[in-house]
Structure 1
Amino acid sequence: EGEPLQVAVKVTDYTGAALTNATVSLQLISDGNVVKSISAIHKGGGIYEASLDTAGLSGSFKALLRSSALIGGASFEKEVPIPVTIRPAWERYLPYMALGAIGIAVAVIAVLYLTKRKRVKPSG
């Protein structure tokens, strides 16, 4: 949740030559519906990059990487599905939350112990 889904892909033609005129997109799909999508940016040498914001999302998705280009006057398309799991933010911070809770519990116990100790007067 909130972590961007980053993808970099090299698009080539059937001879392996880099395609610099392709259209590349990344779609996040859940239950057959497109949840989010973004167009990739050509960085040079046929390398395309996309960073899809996943804020507010968690669960299992299919990321669909789609490229299309004109080669020799004909249009070609390629789709690559990628399974993706987006975890809720609280799962990433669970160990830190547990340590914080333990620290608070220790502090409360220490305060109660010291308070009780001050109330007990030595007999003499």
Structure 2
Amino acid sequence: MSEISNKEMYKQMDEERIKKAFKNGNFNDAFVLFKYSVLTKDEFSKLQQLSTKYGAFNEQMKVYLKEEEMEKIEEAFRNHKDKEAEVLFEFSKHLSEKDFYKMKLKCSAPKNDKMEFT
């Protein structure tokens, strides 16, 4: 019994926090709160539709997903896992080839502290 009420309590707290983030225009915060919440995707979707204009939300979602994908690919490049980075890019829905090659150049460029000048 208390387990059910605790889950409902967490759900209400999560909903309020996410609503507040949307109200304040903090879309990234709302996404992070959702990521660690007990809410389902459908419940989150309903909250965002009630709290924001769908077009603005959709644009913010694209930016957020692009940043997430870029972060994963850059991490793969930093760990010298070029094949993994290429696979992640192939499955990416938000990155262009230009974005991919910029990340590749950025992560493969030698660091100044390791270069020897003569």
Q: Specify the TM-score bucket, using the shorter chain as the normaliser.
A: under 0.3
Query: Which structure dedicates a bigger proportion of its chain to helix?
Result: 2
Query: Which structure dedicates a bigger proportion of its chain to strand?
Result: 1
Q: TM-score, normalised by structure 1?
A: 0.22
